[in-house]
Amino acid sequence: MDLFVGYLLLSGVLLSMALIVGGMIWRFIRIGQISLSQQIAGMNLFDFVVSEGRIVIADQLRPRTLIACGIAVLMLTPYMRVLASVLYFAFRLKNWKYSLFTAIVLGVLTFSLFIR
């Protein structure tokens, strides 16, 4: 499990870094400077992911969207780690005490996705 969690966190960070760097390079090629005009203040993660998802679905992929996807992946990586831990404790180890505690942490993290 430790190895899986390590790879999960590493792959999340590397994917996030690749998306952000790719977006920055694309932006530099497109406009010739590296400056971000992205405002995410006052927005929770759920709203952020939904708004950027709508842009992707509308086929309006821009460098800003690629950078936003990198930020979303980075922010969701710890969430996925806790989700994997809940599943591991519940179904692999069948340790209900750890499953309960980890599920409470997962509930707090889920709630925090929807608050500002």
Q: Name the residue type at position 72.
A: A
The residue with tokens 């998306």 is 19
Average pLDDT over residues 73-95: 92
**Overall size of the chain counted in residues:** 116
In this structure, of 12-16, 18-22, 66-70, 112-116, the range with the lowest mean pLDDT score is: 112-116
CB 69 within 8 A of CB 38: no
Cα maximum dimension of the chain: 55
pLDDT for the residue 56: 81
Q: How far is it, in rounded angstroms, from Cα 116 to Cα 13?
A: 23
Q: How far is it, in rounded angstroms, from Cα 113 to Cα 108?
A: 9
* CA-closest candidate to residue 45, choices 93, 107, 89, 110: 110
What are phi and psi for residue 7, nearest 5 degrees? -70, -35
Q: How far is it, in rounded angstroms, from Cα 102 to Cα 109?
A: 10
pLDDT class for 18, splitting at 50, 70, 90?
Answer: very high
Domain boundary assignment for the chain: 2-33+41-113
Q: Name the residue type at position 58.
A: A
pLDDT class for 1, splitting at 50, 70, 90?
Answer: confident
pLDDT tens-place string over residues 29-77: 998 887 777 676 677 888 888 888 888 888 778 888 888 889 889 988 9
Q: Model's pTM, two decimal places?
A: 0.81
Is the confidence at residue 28, as pLDDT, over 70?
yes
